Amino acid sequence: MNRRDFLKASGIALFTMQSIPSFLSSAREQAKGDKTLVVIQLGGGNDGLNTLAPFSNDAYYAARPTIALSKREVIPVSADLGMHPNLRSLAKFFDDGELAWIQNVGYPNSNRSHFASMAVWHTASPEASSSSGWIGRVAAQVGDPLCASNIGNSTPLAFQSESIVSPSISNVDGFELMFGEHLQGHFQKMLAGSREGERAFVQRSMEQMLENTQKVQARLGNYRGAVNYPKTDLAYRLQQTAKLIATGLGQKVLYVSVGGFDTHANERPVHDTLMLQLAEGLTAFQQDLEAQGLSEQVMILAFSEFGRRVAENGSEGTDHGQGGVMFALGKGVKGGIYGDLPDLETLEDGDIKYQQDFRGVYARVLDDWLGIPSQDILGGNFGGPEFI
């Protein structure tokens, strides 16, 4: 059964097919001023010291005799710091003041477990006192499940909410509810039944999903792709992100994950490839947004659950650490380097000490980019660098 036949049969559409043109017109006008935050998760623990290398510090080379980036390799962004050479396509954005590097980011009593540390970043709760995700709280406050979407198959903990269900979308073109004929009647009965307890939540969630798929499918024609993306998972997800933004439905937060950053062994070739894929994907995404006339309203914020140890291990890799590096990219960014140089001599159990609480970075994008009071989302006031 195709989408149009299903809508005609179900009787639960929230707007009719005949009303779409006027709906699209008014909604598009309303969404023009909306701003979107694209969060990129670098899963596994990105090595900040080989992403933004302190090439003027002899301690860096002493700790990493085989995997350090040489002074002639790096792309200098200051007298002391240089970007990984495979991030060269991002140098233009830094030169134009649209790329901000935020150093020594972490949280109190850092945990080196992937699962535990990622949960801290997703809930914005180092004390593990929250069962909801920070993006889920954004969606609940806005009151629109489609204002936050994950681009991928499985929904991250960051989207957890007790009151709202935001979608995970692996392919925007195929984002629709599809039922066989034998299930359609059961679906209609479920939505039409009494609304009590957990049943009410399920019914509301299904209605939200149906409404979301209708809206997205009706607006796919807004996207006019004119950029060739690289053939990588990250680039594919970023193109899906651009398509969703182009629908003009007022997304506040979109989330993209890429893995592979747990570089315990043979780090240089693995990390070099990841840096190239990151730079090429982001460059294509920015070019796409520019071609769509959307670059002014989109900001990217990238994070990893922790950094790596300062010293390389016996397998020419690095183990789990603490303080790491984040970056923000977009025309709304006040580019530059934020935070002190990494202190490679005063370490905490072999790790860089964190100086900037990641919640301060979240607070900055919530308050100054999305216009959503960060205290309501984060449960406190956190100071962050003024990179917006």
pLDDT confidence of residue 14: 29
Is 133 contained in some domain?
yes
pLDDT confidence of residue 20: 29
Is 85 contained in some domain?
yes
Mean pLDDT of 247-258: 93
Return the CATH number at 158: 3.40.720
Is 156 contained in some domain?
yes
Is 274 contained in some domain?
yes
pLDDT confidence of residue 69: 98
Is 383 contained in some domain?
no
pLDDT confidence of residue 177: 57
Joined together, the tokens standing for residue 37 give 């935050």
Dmax over Cα atoms in the chain, in whole Å?
71
Q: What is the pLDDT of residues 261-278, one digit of tens each?
A: 999 999 999 999 999 999
Q: What is the pLDDT of residues 59-113, one digit of tens each?
A: 999 999 999 999 999 999 999 999 999 999 999 999 999 999 999 999 999 999 9
Q: What is the pLDDT of residues 212-234, one digit of tens each?
A: 677 788 788 889 888 999 999 99
Average of per-residue pLDDT values in the chain: 87
Confidence class for position 312, pLDDT limits 50, 70, 90: very high
pLDDT confidence of residue 184: 55
> Which domain, by its residues, includes 369?
36-176+224-378
> Of 21-25, 84-88, 102-106, 204-208, which range is least confident?
21-25
pLDDT confidence of residue 9: 36
Using CA atoms, how far apart are residues 106 and 322, in angstroms rounded to an integer?
7
Confidence class for position 34, pLDDT limits 50, 70, 90: confident
Q: What is the pLDDT of residues 124-170, one digit of tens each?
A: 999 877 889 999 999 999 988 889 999 998 899 999 998 888 889 99
Total of domains in the chain: 1
pLDDT confidence of residue 235: 98
pLDDT confidence of residue 189: 67
More confident residue, 150 or 17: 150
pLDDT confidence of residue 25: 32
Beta pairing partners, 100: 328, 336
Using CA atoms, how far apart are residues 100 and 329, in angstroms rounded to an integer?
6
pLDDT confidence of residue 1: 37
Q: Residue 73 — φ and ψ, nearest 5°?
A: -80, -40
Is 270 contained in some domain?
yes
pLDDT confidence of residue 67: 98
Is 8 contained in some domain?
no
Percent of the chain predicted with pLDDT > 70: 82
Is 99 contained in some domain?
yes
pLDDT reading at 24 higher than 70: no
pLDDT confidence of residue 375: 96
Mean pLDDT of 322-345: 97
pLDDT confidence of residue 191: 63
pLDDT confidence of residue 108: 94
